[in-house]
Amino acid sequence: MSTPHIAAEPGDFAPAVLMPGDPKRAQRIAETILDSPRLVTDVRGMLGFTGTVDGQPLSVMGSGMGQPSATIYVTELMKFFDVHRVIRVGTCGGISPKVHVGDTIVAIGAHTDSAMNQLRIPGVNFSAVASFNLARAAVEAATEDDTVHVGTIISRDHFYFAPDGQTQRLADYGVLGVDMEAAAMYGVAAECGREALTVLTCSDHLLDSSSDMTAQERETQFETTLRLAVAAALS
Ligand code: HPA
């Protein structure tokens, strides 16, 4: 069976899928954490793998960058491949002064400047929220690690543009960071009656460029992000 963007057979995907933006990262994650990973789709180079973790099936697939791309893949996974849980594992820009480069964010809600969720229910500002059960499982796995933050992010459409003063205003409202996919994924999960969560490593800080880390430090913290995402996926 094929959808426009996924060529796989029914049953090729596990009920839970980890979704980094970058398909090459999906491959690295699959090769690192899955037992017996197999490639299940590669349309447009958007690689998807399925294997097991401790005997439980788990898939890993790229989402691409931005809310339209993420929406296409999550919609097809949930509507045509019976995927019940999507956990985005990615990077974000830091916004809150509490968040440092290398820290992990569990995004329980995602503000957005995108119109994608605005179109869903006429006259309604849709609340893009994570699955409570998935968020709880991720937070429980963090066990009081003070480099793990739980709160809201913003999913922006622009990477290189923001209205003057908007980032500072978001910081004033306690927004932890910025990505480009979470809000749309939460919208698709709501549409499909399924579950979604986003767990992010802060790769740079929009309001504090002094807090850079080494590549080694970033990789170590990505391990925390991945560990929390896997705990949520298999909970
Ligand atoms: N926006 C801005 N900076 C970032 C992002 C983003 O989506 N991701 C990582 N750094």
pLDDT digits (tens, 9 = 90+) for 177-222: 999 999 999 999 999 999 999 999 999 999 988 776 776 776 677 8
Which residue, by CA, sits nearest to atom 10 of ligand 1? 93
Mean pLDDT of 43-66: 98
- State the pLDDT at residue 212: 67
Indicate if 204 belongs to the active site: yes
Report field, pTM of the whole predicted structure over 0.85 = yes
CA gap 96, 167 in Å, rounded: 9
- Gap from CA of 12 to ligand 1 centroid (Å): 32
Which residue, by CA, sits nearest to atom 2 of ligand 1? 93
- Gap from CA of 218 to ligand 1 centroid (Å): 15
- What is the average pLDDT score of the chain? 95
Q: Which atom of ligand 1 is nearest to the CA of 202?
A: 9
Which residue, by CA, sits nearest to atom 1 of ligand 1? 159
Mean pLDDT of 49-69: 98
- State the pLDDT at residue 145: 82
- State the pLDDT at residue 210: 78
Q: Name the pLDDT band for 4 (thresholds 50, 70, 90).
A: very high
Q: Where are the alpha helices (DSSP H) in the chain?
A: 23-33, 67-80, 132-142, 166-172, 182-192, 215-233
CA gap 7, 61 in Å, rounded: 12
Q: Of 105, 99, 63, whose CA–CA distance to 225 is shortest?
A: 105
Integer Rg of the chain from CA: 17
pLDDT digits (tens, 9 = 90+) for 64-110: 999 999 999 999 999 999 999 999 999 999 999 999 999 999 999 99
